[in-house]
């Protein structure tokens, strides 16, 4: 008997969205009671928004690349100089800037709300029936809320990613500009750009790449720092120095890399707690699944190259970002990029349904408590006083990377299956040639085909 998945969509997606909204309401009342947000929100309640203001500080002071060792390209500092109150950065220290720079705070929260609107408009073009559920779940979900709490530039970058890879902009040049801005804010998004080559989108790729380079050159001239060699050296230094040393490094990760780092870097502690045999088995299983998923994504990319017309444009960007995410550890808030492309898929077939359902779980700002450690006294910035903060051992740090891996496997196998079905139907040469100049909505396969000449 064939499994009927489509009717589940009628009630499951609204229910999942309501869980996300309910978790946000719970977090609000939790804050009113304990003066800090619950896990998985950040474990230092005094550090709210400081990713934004730390970066803004270096926008007004020299040494961002040689003293601070930042990975941000120059566009971040140009943007923050425009959307900040410069007088606040003359004498104030890092933390007191938050009391002064109201323009920066308004910009951060303005872009956050703008993203919710853009998400709804984007999903409405793809599927009106699910637009509101997916826009609310993602726009107010954990990845975006975590980025807002940290004040990370992922909030602004997400705006340009929606515009560059979504269907809202009709002008190709404006799309190129949006992609150029997104890549300059978060360099690893270059993977979503290069993945478009699998579909032979030569003009779109060239225009976007030119936009990336031009934006970088202009902002480099304005800042006067941020040479590619400097950024590359800082990336290498951070990658070589990174070593997860406590379980706090697992707090909100997108992959199992911090877990593997703890096992290898603090093996004697972990072994003493769980035993060497159990630790070795976990490490082997995690490592195998991790690299097997990367292999599956790579094979899916090869399949796309063979039959580009079978796979939607949004899937190409998703595969590229999955590979970039698994190859590094960009942080949990970057899951918003992956979920954006997953929510462009239709609720059809087991692989898509599981990926969409898993994405809703990733959007839920909830955690399941497994244990606790003695509370500590922390200063809460939003509450304005000290509070007791209890660190819990939760399921989330182990579940969320698993969901990312399962999404990668599901979408890779779906892509390979679609390509193989088309090859079986039409043969290796095929009977059709895709019109690469056709205007496509993300997530929608073009209906226009032309006979192979």
Q: Give tens-digit pLDDT for 32-57.
A: 999 989 989 988 888 899 999 989 98
Name which of 6-15, 35-44, 315-324 the model is least confident about. Answer: 6-15
Q: For the chain, what percent of residues have pLDDT higher than 90?
A: 51
Res. 271: pLDDT tops 70: no
> Can you state the angle between helices 50-59 and 142-150, rounded to 10 degrees?
50
Q: How far apart are CA 160 and CA 158, in angstroms?
A: 5
pLDDT given at position 164: 95
- Measuring CA to CA, how many Å separate 441 from each of 81, 163, 366, 412, 418? 35, 12, 33, 21, 19
Q: How far apart are CA 91 and CA 89, in angstroms?
A: 6
Res. 261: pLDDT tops 80: no
Q: Residues 304, 415: contact at Cβ < 8 Å?
A: yes
Res. 3: pLDDT tops 60: no
Q: Across residues 250-254, what is the average pLDDT?
A: 82
Res. 25: pLDDT tops 90: yes
- For 241-250, the pLDDT digits (tens) are 555 455 666 7
pLDDT band at 253 (very low <50, low <70, confident <90, very high): confident
Q: How far apart are CA 335 and CA 318, in angstroms?
A: 11
- In terms of pLDDT, which residue wins out, 300 or 63? 300
pLDDT given at position 429: 65
Q: What is the mean pLDDT of the chain?
A: 85
pLDDT given at position 95: 75
pLDDT given at position 443: 40
Name which of 63-67, 215-219, 336-340, 369-373 the model is least confident about. Answer: 369-373
- Taken as a whole, the chain contains a residue count of 453
Res. 146: pLDDT tops 50: yes
- For 302-314, the pLDDT digits (tens) are 999 988 888 888 9
pLDDT given at position 98: 86
Res. 373: pLDDT tops 90: no
- In terms of pLDDT, which residue wins out, 439 or 244? 244
Res. 273: pLDDT tops 70: no
Residue 329 DSSP class: -
Q: Residues 408, 92: contact at Cβ < 8 Å?
A: no
- For 105-134, the pLDDT digits (tens) are 999 999 999 999 999 999 999 999 999 999
- Answer whether the bond into residue 40 is a cis peptide, omega within 30°: yes
Q: How far apart are CA 23 and CA 36, in angstroms?
A: 15
Phi/psi at 31 (nearest 5 deg)?
-65, -40
- For 381-434, the pLDDT digits (tens) are 888 888 888 888 888 888 999 999 999 999 999 999 999 998 888 877 654 444
């Amino acid at each position: 008997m064939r499994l009927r998945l489509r009717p589940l969509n009628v009630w499951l997606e609204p229910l999942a969205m309501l869980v996300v909204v309910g978790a946000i309401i719970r977090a609000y009342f939790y804050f009113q009671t304990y003066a800090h947000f619950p896990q998985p929100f950040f474990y230092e309640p005094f550090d709210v928004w400081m990713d934004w203001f730390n970066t803004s500080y270096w926008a007004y002071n020299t040494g961002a690349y040689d003293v601070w060792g930042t990975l941000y390209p120059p566009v971040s500092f140009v943007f923050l100089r425009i959307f900040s109150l410069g007088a606040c950065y003359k004498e104030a220290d890092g933390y007191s800037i938050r009391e002064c720079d109201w323009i920066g705070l308004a910009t951060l929260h303005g872009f956050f709300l703008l993203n919710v609107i853009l998400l709804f408009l984007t999903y409405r073009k793809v599927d009106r029936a699910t637009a509101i559920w997916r826009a609310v779940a993602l726009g107010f979900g954990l990845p975006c809320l975590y980025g807002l709490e940290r004040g990370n530039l992922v909030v602004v970058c997400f705006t340009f990613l929606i515009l560059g890879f979504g269907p809202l902009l009709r002008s190709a040049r404006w799309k190129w500009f949006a992609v150029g801005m997104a890549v300059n804010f978060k360099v690893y998004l270059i993977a979503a750009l290069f993945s478009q080559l699998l579909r032979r989108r030569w003009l779109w790729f060239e225009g976007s790449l030119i936009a990336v380079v031009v934006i970088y050159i202009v902002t480099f001239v304005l800042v006067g720092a941020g040479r590619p060699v400097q950024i590359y050296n800082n990336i290498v230094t951070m990658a070589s120095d990174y070593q997860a040393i406590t379980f706090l490094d697992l707090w909100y990760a997108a992959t199992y890399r911090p877990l593997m780092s703890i096992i290898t870097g603090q093996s004697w502690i972990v072994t003493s707690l769980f035993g060497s045999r159990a630790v070795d088995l976990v490490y082997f299983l995690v490592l195998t699944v991790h690299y097997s998923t990367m292999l599956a994504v790579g094979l899916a990319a090869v399949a796309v190259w063979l039959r580009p017309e079978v796979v939607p444009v949004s899937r190409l960007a998703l595969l590229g970002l999955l590979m970039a995410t698994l190859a590094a550890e960009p942080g949990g808030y970057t899951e918003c990029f992956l979920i954006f492309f997953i929510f462009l898929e239709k609720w059809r077939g087991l692989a898509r349904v599981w990926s969409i359902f898993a994405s809703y779980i990733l959007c839920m700002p909830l955690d399941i408590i497994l244990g606790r450690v003695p509370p500590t006294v922390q200063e809460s910035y939003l509450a304005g006083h000290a509070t007791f903060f209890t660190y819990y051992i939760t399921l989330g740090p182990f579940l969320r990377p698993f969901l990312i891996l399962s999404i990668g496997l599901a979408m890779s196998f779906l892509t390979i299956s679609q390509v193989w079905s088309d090859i079986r139907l039409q043969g290796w040469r095929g009977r059709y040639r895709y019109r690469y100049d056709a205007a496509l909505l993300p997530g929608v396969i073009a209906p226009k085909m032309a006979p192979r000449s």
